[in-house]
């Protein structure tokens, strides 16, 4: 495989996993969610991520979700699977399962729970990369995972040919400048936090892994393309409308918020698997009010080639 030919770009929703009332995985409904996203023009799918409730799923469930995504995509867009594990061995096992299921790549988070040193983080990523021929996106989310995969850490892995992309959810735009300054276009850079996407695109992000694009995929892809095309006046008008929704991606209960949005717009169910519990009381009312206001003022979208 020529990893230099990997050209991931655009909006890749971090797809939700649909859950039945008995808390089993609803593969049929998940397939429908994915089909609808692709029909609305998204550029890729990331399954088994945070929004996909990765850590609440078994290995077999995650593998089945990859299979469903591959079937829904039908080669039209790339399918990446999240890899979020406690140990190197388990991460290799999930990476292998994703490959067997037909994934086009994997998005690997640093080890969960244990806070590794920089040396251990690099060794973790290198060991997984050496175990597979799949293209790999590394995922940095220091606020949640207490492990900062800085540009300095990333650039020590330029010799790992199948590490091709980097998702940054730090909220800091500096990596989008610092990484190319150090290693040119060696890595494809993705924005990871919804409410700083325009800023990240303005300084070089090639793609956006988005939570809220599950519920508003056309708005997400339009916003991204406006920014990418340098049409910032139009982008900012849409960004102002979108921002209260995008802020929901940056909360501990982001999965419940995003899935509630999906339900309110008729794109999925709000059911999550415990320990995640449904929103209730004041929090539920506040989130519903955000969505209802957005729907009442939903804008006409400019033409971006969708």
Joined together, the tokens standing for residue 261 give: 């949005």
Q: Nearest-CA neighbor of 79 among 92, 63, 66?
A: 66
* Helix (H/G/I), strand (E/B), else coil: 47: strand
Of the candidates 216, 155, 213, 215, the residue with the CA atom closest to the CA atom of residue 187: 155
Whether 139 is a known active-site residue: answer: yes
Q: Are 190 and 205 in contact (CB under 8 A)?
A: yes
Kind and range of the H or E run holding 165:
strand 163-168
CA distance 297 to 292: 9
**Residue written as token pair 């400048």:** 177
Query: How far apart, in whole angstroms, are the C-alpha atoms of residue 163 and residue 261?
Result: 33
Q: Say if residues 88 and 124 touch (Cβ distance below 8 Å).
A: yes
Q: How many residues does the structure list for the chain?
A: 306
Active-site residue (options: 124, 139, 145, 239): 139
Cα(288)–Cα(136) distance, rounded to whole angstroms? 36
DSSP state of 3: G
Q: What separation in angstroms does the CA of 295 have from each of 244, 262, 286, 302?
A: 12, 12, 14, 17
- In sequence order, the 6+-apart residues with CB closer than 8 A to the CB of 90 are none
**Catalytic one among 124, 145, 167, 259?**
167
Binding residue positions for pyruvate = 209
The β-bridge relationship of strands 79-83 and 45-47 is: parallel
- Alpha-carbon distance values, 297 to 48, 238, 242 (Å): 32, 11, 10
Binding residues: 209
Residues annotated catalytic, as ranges: 139, 167
């Amino acid at each position: 495989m020529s990893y230099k030919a990997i050209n991931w770009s655009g909006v890749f929703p971090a797809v939700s996993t649909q859950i039945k009332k008995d808390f089993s995985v609803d593969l049929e409904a998940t397939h429908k969610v994915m089909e609808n996203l692709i029909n609305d023009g998204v550029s890729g799918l990331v399954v088994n991520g945070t929004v996909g409730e990765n850590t609440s799923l078994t290995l077999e469930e995650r593998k089945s979700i990859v299979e469903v995504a591959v079937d829904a995509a039908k080669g039209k867009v790339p399918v990446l699977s999240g890899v979020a594990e406690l140990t190197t061995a388990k991460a290799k096992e999930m990476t292998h399962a994703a490959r067997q299921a037909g994934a086009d790549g994997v998005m690997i988070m640093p080890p969960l729970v244990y806070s590794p040193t920089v040396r251990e983080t690099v060794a973790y990523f290198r060991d997984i990369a050496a175990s597979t021929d799949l293209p790999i996106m590394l995922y940095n989310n220091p606020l949640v995972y207490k492990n900062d995969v800085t540009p300095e850490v990333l650039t020590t892995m330029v010799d790992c040919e199948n590490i091709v992309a980097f998702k940054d959810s730090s909220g800091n735009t500096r990596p989008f400048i610092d990484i190319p300054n150090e290693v040119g276009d060696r890595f494809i850079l993705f924005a990871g936090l919804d409410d700083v996407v325009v800023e990240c695109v303005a300084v070089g992000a090639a793609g956006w892994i988005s939570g809220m694009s599950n519920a508003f995929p056309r708005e997400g892809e339009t916003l991204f393309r406006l920014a990418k095309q340098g049409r910032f006046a139009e982008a900012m008008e849409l960004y102002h409308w979108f921002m209260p929704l995008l802020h929901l991606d940056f909360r501990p209960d982001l999965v419940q918020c995003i899935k509630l949005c999906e339900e309110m717009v008729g794109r999925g169910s709000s059911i999550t698997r415990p320990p995640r519990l449904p929103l209730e009381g004041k929090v539920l009312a506040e989130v519903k009010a955000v969505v209802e206001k957005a729907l009442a003022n939903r804008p006409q979208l400019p033409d971006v080639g969708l």
